[in-house]
Amino acid sequence: MATSSVDRTAVAAVKEHLLSGKPITRLEALVLYGCSNLPEVVYELRREKFPVEGTKKVPYATAMVRINEHAVLKPPPNLPIRDILLTEYKLKR
């Protein structure tokens, strides 16, 4: 299956985000960049020998705060945003 230019743009944006030293979760990749498969991007970066780590779990609320620096994300009122954990990916220093 061919990759569309939108997919390539989203992947490039996520790579740029990580290469700038900022962490990212799957939620941020989707909302901010339209990248629906962050683990695939991480896999490709690792194949390219980039030292990506992804073992830290952060609350949904943490990702939401970072997203809200650039966009507006308002979860449902009864969503337990402090209990839902997301994997955070970043480059090792």
Q: For 76-90, what is the mean pLDDT?
A: 96
Is 8:27 a contact under the CB 8 Å cutoff?
Answer: no
Region 65-70: mean pLDDT is 97
Q: Model-level pTM?
A: 0.86
The pLDDT of residue 5 is 59
Give the span between the Cα atoms of 16 and 78, in whole angstroms: 34
As given in the structure block, the two tokens for residue 55 are 């073992």
Does residue 1 have a pLDDT over 50? no
| Residue 46 vs residue 25, higher pLDDT | 25
Residues 6+ apart with CB under 8 A from 15: 41, 45
Q: Which sequence spans correspond to the domains of the chain?
A: 5-91
